[in-house]
Structure 1
């Protein structure tokens, strides 16, 4: 059995879903439901979340890849979908597993320092000071995931309230630190991804930050069997919040 918890739904060929940073398995319930008539969808509850193990001091990309390989072995699935940091994990898992297909939505690949990281010390400081909401807003704003002004104010208010979503989000905030460090450590010229020989579908949104969009054509040029589809109206959270059914349609196509 895998070390991490998984949430399974549907019938058909197996598809493993790897959530992004701050995301839980439940955030992909709509995506899984939209795919359930065509796939048996196994959504991983990554480390530091729910009943899965914590991210300890030995945590790294090898930990995440090992978990994905265990899930693939246990389920017999031969396709993976990864979102954001989960997309980075999916590409690295594809270097180790014989897969039929990899789908990555705006994978968190840093090429020549493209992924912002200067925000991390201030994020850590705010977390250490117990300023969870301020830390989350700092992260989202620094990564260009939300604008300033009223949206940030509203997000701060929601984060501070004793809601299930607020508690859930605050619980995973410490995992951002280790995951960002892994992303930064894997910064490269992208040539390592020539080792991904499985068919790869790279997905992106026209409303996402430029640094996420700009890495997609670089990866397509690097990987031997890849193509990219960018949907103008999508943003970075299309798979989990904005347009999960539409993203499912691209996966099924």
Structure 2
């Protein structure tokens, strides 16, 4: 019988920061790292779908939700240290990551030979400048000015996310539609998950994870963990290219294309995700 009771626990990272995570399920441990504009609850339905065969550890990465603060000078090394602290505390040896969380999962496995398996869902690797971060200066200025909708549009365009239709609209109209969406989200409430207004500044964090790991691909030839590369057939082309590049260098990897799905696939159903479909592939790989 599935144990779907969710318990919130904490572990202390190397720099003394408390890392909050949700624990649910029974069986071997699996750490599940969320992506950009998300917290742990963003993928909680995926965690529940896996909880019959695994114990899921679902942290809020730093700077969002119940996650600890990002300290001055934060680098991706601290993100990896957070995962390592969680592995040490729980005994888990499998890690799954979504988007930027997948980059952190791969980096963790590089630094930890005891990580056995990694699930990487569409890591947005920078391949020879494919993920330019020149838009961050404008984004940071809009955040500082309190222009959240403008910053969200800048981030969406800079990361090439959102509907392709938005890229054809006049920017003023896109910002107006974004404002309407944010206000509706705040009226309706989102349960445990923070709203877009609260999460908007974290776009900077995830963009810097991508920029800081621009030279990662050749290093991944040294990775000894088994890797499942997951992606949707309807995801942006640059994410599919990232998976193709990984497939070419990882010593022990297999790739699965989720037909008809996109970058939202791991998310909860209300956010357009298909967590049961993703869970089936992960469970098959881990078994």
TM-score, normalised to structure 2, is 0.83
C-alpha distance in 2, partners of 1:182/1:9? 28
Aligned residue in 1 for 2:134: 118
**Mapped partners of 1:56, 1:175: distance in 2:** 13
Distance 2:276 2:178 in 1: 25
Is the alpha carbon distance of 1:60 and 1:157 closer, same or farther for their aligned partners in structure 2, counting shifts above 3 Å? same
What RMSD, in angstroms, separates the aligned Cα atoms of the two structures?
Answer: 1.9
- The correspondence of residues 49-128 of structure 1 with structure 2, limited to 5 A, is 49-97=64-112, 98-128=114-144
Write the distance in 1 (CA, Å) between the matches of 2:209 and 2:50.
30
Residues 174 and 224 of structure 1, relative CA distance in 2, 3 Å threshold: same
Tell me the CA shift for residue 175 of structure 1.
Answer: 2.2
Q: Does 1:252 align with 2:275?
A: no
- In structure 1, the gaps of 5 or more residues are none
Match for residue 155 of structure 2 among 129, 136, 139:
139
Q: How does 1:145-160 map to 2 (within 5 A)?
A: 145-147=161-163, 148=166, 149=169, 154-160=177-183
Alpha-carbon distance in 1 for matches of 2:243, 2:129: 15
> Would the aligned equivalents of 1:18 and 1:43 in 2 still touch at CA under 8 Å?
yes
Aligned to 1:224: 251
Partner-residue secondary structure (3-state), 1:4: strand
Distance change in 2, residues 1:4/1:167 (3 Å): closer
1:185 is aligned to 212
> Aligned-pair distance for 1:59?
1.0
Query: 1:23-42: CA deviations, max 9, x gaps?
Result: 01111110011011011011
Output one character per residue of 1:55-81: Cα deviation in whole Å (capped at 9) or x when no partner.
Answer: 121211110000000001111111010
Q: Secondary structure at the match of 2:231?
A: strand
**Distance in 2 (alpha carbons) for counterparts of 1:142 and 1:62:** 24
- What SS class does the counterpart of residue 74 from structure 2 fall into? coil
| Stretch of structure 1 that moved more, 89-98 or 132-141 | 132-141
Q: Distance in 2 between matches of 1:84 and 1:167?
A: 18
Instruction: Work out the number of aligned pairs and report it.
Output: 253
Aligned-pair CA distance for 1:152 = 6.8
- Report the CA distance shift for 1:249/1:152 in structure 2 as closer, same or farther (over 3 A): farther
Deviation at 1:21, TM superposition (A): 1.3
CA contact (8 A) 1:86 1:108 kept: no
> 1:189: how far off?
6.6
Mapping for residues 159-170 of structure 1, pairs under 5 Å: 159-161=182-184, 162-163=186-187, 164-165=189-190, 168-170=195-197
Q: Tell me the residue number matched to 1:35.
A: 50
Report the CA distance between 1:167 and its aligned residue: 5.5
1:21 aligns with 2:44: no
CA contact (8 A) 2:234 2:259 kept: yes
The structure having more radius of gyration, on CA atoms, is 2
Q: Tell me how far 1:46 sits from its aligned partner.
A: 0.7
